[in-house]
Amino acid sequence: MLKRNIPSVTAVAALLIIWQSVCSTGLIPSYMLPSPIEVMHAFVSEFPLLLENSAITLQEAFIGLILGVSIGFFAAVLMDSFNVLYKAFYPLLIITQTIPSVAVAPLLVLWFGYEMTPKIVLIIISTFFPVTVGLLDGFRSADKDAIGLLRSMGAKRTQIFRYIKFPSALPQLFSGLRIAAAYSVVGAVISEWLGGFGGLGVYMTRVKKAFAFDKMFAVIFLISAISLALMALVGFAEKKCMPYRNTDKKGENT
Amino acid sequence: MKKLEVKNVSKSFDGNPVLKDISIELKRGELVCLLGVSGGGKTTLFNIISGLLTPDRGQVLLDGKDITDQPGHISYMLQKDLLLPYRTIEDNAALPLLLKGVKKKEARLQVSPMFSQFGLEGTQKKYPSQLSGGMRQRAALLRTYMFSKDVALLDEPFSALDTITKSSMHKWYLNVMQQIQLSTLFITHDIDEAILISDRIYLLSGSPGEIKGEIIIKEPKPRRDDFNLTAEFLEYKRKILTLL
């Protein structure tokens, strides 16, 4: 585990060292690019404010993610069960993803106001898609022969779903979830940025107007850290849900 | 006593006849092989017996009761073991019971005494990917057995195994079959395999597939180790080759 990470850790460390030396030699003035140490200072001094705003952003992200994933799940199950629905809605699904969220967010603010609703709606729009598409592919990848075998044993449709289709789709579900988790934080920040009373996005607009670039960088780092943490959480759940993937392949003689 | 009977079954797909007037029967405790070339409609016949396909004509009887077109009576086992990779061997074997509505704990309890009988001791908590091909076929057979305790339909179950494993699986199978009093209908395209393990052999060939003959293997069971080297064995083989 540690050994595998040596190259990436070294690369990040080297980047930080270059960045710090560029700043401390005065090559780039600090009002344009604050040094990593200044960013650290800003992070520490602003910590209470960041925490307060993170709580709001995370709350939006979680609610949006849970709703988005649930809607995505039901959409996928319905579309898998009824081919008509699949044919009717699959193209629409793709179209929703071609609309940039920065364009939709102001509209959502107009429709739903400055409170939490427009943020959650935007997160739902951007998170349900990877889940639905992942699950649909997963359901379709289920082994036809295995389904036939279960049918010969008198299995009902719900049982075929439970014992074959759903477990076959788990890997795709989790890759969808990982993307959705990252989208949820970014979606929350973007919609706060475009109108709101609190959250990391609102905080960003404030520090940007004050040209406090050190704080700007601090919040950027915080947002990526939160996204990474969420993705790691999904990865952890994935390992727990699919223990058969961690087993070593070793043959035994008959 | 007839366990399973297929009566005058015909089937065609899009106007192409695949099976023509097939009648076969399986007595209690018997191992009957259906021998024929690949693509000769053997698998279609199995799907009809297991109720997944509807025959154009004819009937399938189990213990004298009509089960034509009704899945849920007889299950089968294929060359592909079809063990679910995300379930342990124990839970794979217990699957037929779970489908019938038995609780998980109870199902595991019912499966567990069978593991030693099937030569699967110690594999309960393993995943299919951790087992060799032969062991996986054993587990697949156990699952088939948990579904229907007296009849097994096997479609080329050992054809993906190497020759040595295959011959040990034959011995194992005949042994298990006797212990649990299983009647078996066994599809194969391997003439030697058919002569080695069968009580009777149906020859299926032609297009559409028809029963071209029936051969009774008189050699008593358990068969001697060098049965496949004897003159009788060769005589059976010659007879089959002329009929096919």
What does the alpha-carbon distance between residue A152 and residue B145 come to, in Å, rounded to a whole number? 13
CB contact under 8 A, A149 and B127: no
Question: Which of the 8 DSSP states describes residue A165?
Answer: I
Task: Give the total residue count for chain A.
Answer: 254
The pLDDT of residue A254: 36
Task: Note whether A153 contacts B: Cβ–Cβ < 8 A.
Answer: yes
Mean per-residue pLDDT, A89-110: 86
Cis peptide before B222 (omega within 30 of 0): yes
pLDDT at A253 over 70: no
CB contact under 8 A, B132 and A170: no
Residue A51 belongs to a domain: no
Closest alpha carbon within chain A to B83: A146
Residue A18 belongs to a domain: no
The pLDDT of residue B95: 94
State how far the alpha carbon of A97 is from the alpha carbons of A90, A127, A175, B61, in Å: 11, 10, 17, 55
What residue ranges do the domains of chain B occupy?
1-30+40-71+186-226
List, for residues B56-112, the tens digit of each pLDDT value: 999 999 998 999 988 888 888 888 899 999 999 999 999 999 998 999 999 999 999
Complex prediction ipTM: 0.82
The pLDDT of residue A2: 66
The pLDDT of residue A244: 85
Task: Note whether A209 contacts B: Cβ–Cβ < 8 A.
Answer: no
Which CATH code of 3.40.50.720, 3.40.50.300, 3.90.79.10, 3.90.870.40 fits the domain covering B1-30+40-71+186-226? 3.40.50.300
pLDDT at A249 over 50: no
Residue A85's CATH number? 1.10.3720.10
Lowest model confidence (mean pLDDT) among A27-31, A87-91, A108-112, B140-144: A27-31
Helix, strand or coil, per DSSP, at residue B50: coil
pLDDT band for A63, please (50, 70, 90 cuts). Answer: very high
CB contact under 8 A, A163 and B72: no
List, for residues A116-145, the tens digit of each pLDDT value: 899 999 999 989 999 999 999 999 999 999
Q: Which amino acid is at A251?
A: G
Number of domains in chain A: 1
B230 against A249, higher pLDDT? B230
List, for residues B135-166, the tens digit of each pLDDT value: 999 999 999 989 887 888 998 888 888 888 88
Of A153, A242, A251, the CB nearest to B86: A242
The pLDDT of residue B5: 93
CB contact under 8 A, B99 and A155: yes
Domain span including residue A153 = 57-242
User: In sequence order, what DSSP letters do the residues of A166-189 get, joined into one string?
Assistant: HHHHHHHHHHHHHHHHHHHHHHHH
Residue A252 belongs to a domain: no
Residue A187 in contact with residue A200, Cβ under 8 Å? no
Structure tokens that stand for B147 in this block: 């579904």
A chain contacts of residue B78, beta-carbon cutoff 8 Å: 145, 149
The pLDDT of residue A250: 43
What does the alpha-carbon distance between residue B189 and residue B38 come to, in Å, rounded to a whole number? 7
B chain contacts of residue A172, beta-carbon cutoff 8 Å: none
CB contact under 8 A, A244 and B80: no
The pLDDT of residue B165: 87
Mean per-residue pLDDT, A18-27: 88
The pLDDT of residue A98: 86
Residue A118 belongs to a domain: yes
pLDDT at B113 over 50: yes
Residue A29 belongs to a domain: no
The pLDDT of residue A247: 59
Residue A200 in contact with residue A227, Cβ under 8 Å? no
Q: Which amino acid is at B236?
A: Y
* Average model confidence (pLDDT) across chain A: 89
The pLDDT of residue B89: 95
A chain contacts of residue B169, beta-carbon cutoff 8 Å: 254
A chain contacts of residue B138, beta-carbon cutoff 8 Å: 254
CB contact under 8 A, B131 and A252: yes
Of B75, B98, B165, the CB nearest to A254: B165
